[in-house]
Structure 1
């Protein structure tokens, strides 16, 4: 039986998938790997970078229920002490981790008998030279929006043409084929050109053109203008000569549900249809103590039902749990929520520590809306299940996503922060207003209608014969053609 399985796999293209650390990168590439195995006749090895991996990442990749034909191989752990400072920003630390880890990539690819192709994410571009040396084709899976890719491919030219900081430009940045980008919405990594994060981001972006193809985690009905621009605009045809393949939404289809998750879903079962606000700020998101208090009061004042994935506050970083998600499920929320909040909200609200079965919650008929950080994976999961959003961007490109969802796609409402000399906080009255409008107001009903249109569109895109399905099928057919007879 084992021999038969080995022979069957030898007749399939062997694809290696490599993601940088962090669930925002690992999750979509892991789901992509499953899709290659289950739908497109490939054998896939997923390479895991275990150094600084969160508990949630480790559990996801080492589940006992992997489909036949998908295996996970861990890189050797690397020692980052003395190579990168402990307080280095997230992208810098991540990029150095990848750089050190990929020193063993060549030997692993040789042990795997040189696969037909390697698929990487944006922050693993050090793999290009290694794979070229071995004559292995490399494809990129862009884990964020195509809107971000369009801006990012412009970045090397902006770096040459603009003298000062991009955030100080007097006018929005003109992105070819797309709506202008307000400087307020610029992603964190390009807000200071002196920072190491900016240098790493520019480094990786300047190498996208080395890919043999770029997979886009989107579908045309969601981002028509950016997809058309990347394909047809003269600037991008010159900048990115490799073909692009919209194959999204690539999201988690299912997930394991813990005992806490089961309690969460049982509570949802008892709530009316379209009545619950789901509050979750992604795998890395954290709030300051002040903002956490305001959010709690806003939810209470709104009078709406809610499920809130609560994490301990962090005044220093909005992405403090990026490398640690899943590690603090035993934390006592009473120690950092307003006194008496849990008791007052009992029956109407449910607090879940650190992590919840997001896909199952978004699928549930009781879920009316999603207060989200607008990370791209969460955006896709929400829209693929027809759920509108309250946009609460925290870091990276999330401000850009929030603006696009609110102003172009029509499925989100922004919570407006109050600027003071010391802080930038969304107040409880603003939260109360936006939550009420989204869950029970006319604006919320219209956003829900639009989100459900996109849900149907996504189903069609992914179905056999749909544009996203066929886009990936074409590449898989090319890979199969390279197999030796």
Structure 2
């Protein structure tokens, strides 16, 4: 019988950061059952119910430990979500260290794997003679930017949004400064300084696991592997292990049958429904909700809309849900007028299952990376409506690079008007451009499936890593 190999995993706070790294561990133990993983979870306030219920789905050789929660009042009020996430981990470091020490005293930890916002925890790896890996839950293009940012910061004196020429990252579509991740918008603020700190840290780990795959980002991945980003004479090892999503582990078939929205979708014609969702934390202002409602009505397309209560902050629901009925904010008479063509859900839908339905022909999305991968795996083309984080960068890659999305163009804080929304929705669902996008998305769907076959690129990469960890004899 193979000896058990022990690994500790440290996600960062927030459901959308917990899921990808835990789905990675699920895939690892499914393919390599001799691994035992402990997930050490920092949290801001009480752990959300979504995280607790999700953790009930993990297999027995993955344990989870919730650390003592950090008090919200100990953190700066109104700060950018990335700053809050990273500070929560920083304040949790003593608890993380104690948990690692306790685990290591029972069985040696071969490796520590931390989410990119929890990178400081990897400083403990040397103390426990463990290997250190960063889990990067986003695209290879975003990883390329992070690794290039240190040089960019030295070479560019103005704000990135004021650059006249697009930034050219090797193997990636050119990107304008205005479309870089939200923390780069003001280089003097704390969000940018912490973003740069995370970027600088990437040169000192044993490897970076990236939630992408060769068939999706071959140019970016090959450029990263070939260049190796030598810094201080050290080569960075990049391991593309995606797509990692909740597909295949989101719900049992019995649970799925209970959702009214899925019953509704099963009764709609093929490729006729636009799924509208801004992720687990994205919100729109009241005025923008009204324009979106009128735009959907004007488009005359079927739709399934996951609606959250309005907020003037695009990331208001990142840490906690608002306890109000969002449907009451819709325009008067909207639900009655659209009842034959549309369905509006309050705050949540079983997204993985929704995207699987043959009636879903498009996804109006905030372009969070989890949502993009889920859409690719089901071959559903995208209307890109980025809100925050690296979503604008993802939208550029989808629309300009891969040509599997139509991007809604608007300036920061601009209200997207109903006519523009209706035009783009109709273009995707009915137009010639939409047909081409659908065909290209089908190719990516096949590529995602290929990467996850036993001889596929990502599963082979995972096997290589598992073999390294099994044979590791300590630093």
TM-score bracket, normalised by the shorter chain, equals over 0.9
Q: How big is the shift at 1:423?
A: 4.4
Aligned to 1:78: 70
Aligned counterpart in structure 2 of residue 98 of structure 1, from 89, 92, 107: 89
Q: Is the 8 A contact 1:105 1:130 kept in 2?
A: no
Aligned counterpart in structure 2 of residue 284 of structure 1, from 271, 281, 285: 281
Q: How big is the shift at 1:234?
A: 6.5
Following superposition of structure 1 onto structure 2, how do residues 212-361 of structure 1 map, counting pairs within 5 Å? 212-233=206-227, 235=229, 241-253=235-247, 254-256=249-251, 262-315=259-312, 317-325=313-321, 328=323, 331-361=324-354
The separation in 2 between residues aligned to 1:238 and 1:345, in whole angstroms, is: 61
The separation in 2 between residues aligned to 1:393 and 1:30, in whole angstroms, is: 25
The separation in 2 between residues aligned to 1:294 and 1:165, in whole angstroms, is: 32
Q: How big is the shift at 1:174?
A: 2.9
Q: Name the SS of the counterpart of 1:44 in structure 2.
A: strand
| Residues 456 and 289 of structure 1, relative CA distance in 2, 3 Å threshold | same
Between 392-401 and 171-180, report the one with greater CA deviation: 171-180
TM-score, with structure 2 as normaliser: 0.94
Q: Is the 8 A contact 1:209 1:239 kept in 2?
A: no
The separation in 1 between residues aligned to 2:92 and 2:407, in whole angstroms, is: 39
- Corresponding position: 1:426 with 2:416: yes
Q: How big is the shift at 1:238?
A: 7.2
Structure 2: which 5+ runs fail to align? none
Q: Is the 8 A contact 2:229 2:236 kept in 1?
A: no
- Once the two structures are superposed, residues 300-338 of structure 1 have per-residue CA deviations (whole angstroms, 9 ceiling, x without a partner) of 1111111000001101x111100014x64xx33342110
The separation in 1 between residues aligned to 2:180 and 2:330, in whole angstroms, is: 31
Between 374-383 and 449-458, report the one with greater CA deviation: 449-458
TM-score, with structure 1 as normaliser: 0.92
| Residues 161 and 413 of structure 1, relative CA distance in 2, 3 Å threshold | same
Structure 1: which 5+ runs fail to align? 1-7
The separation in 1 between residues aligned to 2:192 and 2:373, in whole angstroms, is: 26
Give the root-mean-square deviation of aligned CA atoms: 2.0
- Corresponding position: 1:445 with 2:422: no
- Once the two structures are superposed, residues 356-409 of structure 1 have per-residue CA deviations (whole angstroms, 9 ceiling, x without a partner) of 000000111111010000011100000011111000000011111101101111
Q: Is the 8 A contact 1:390 1:413 kept in 2?
A: yes
Q: Is the 8 A contact 2:112 2:122 kept in 1?
A: no
Aligned counterpart in structure 1 of residue 12 of structure 2, from 20, 34, 42: 20
Q: How big is the shift at 1:260?
A: 11
The separation in 1 between residues aligned to 2:320 and 2:257, in whole angstroms, is: 19
- Once the two structures are superposed, residues 193-217 of structure 1 have per-residue CA deviations (whole angstroms, 9 ceiling, x without a partner) of 1111111111111001111111111
Aligned to 2:194: 200
Q: Name the SS of the counterpart of 2:24 in structure 1.
A: helix
Aligned to 1:385: 378
Q: How big is the shift at 1:130?
A: 1.7
Between 290-299 and 225-234, report the one with greater CA deviation: 225-234
| Residues 423 and 464 of structure 1, relative CA distance in 2, 3 Å threshold | closer
Q: Is the 8 A contact 1:165 1:193 kept in 2?
A: yes
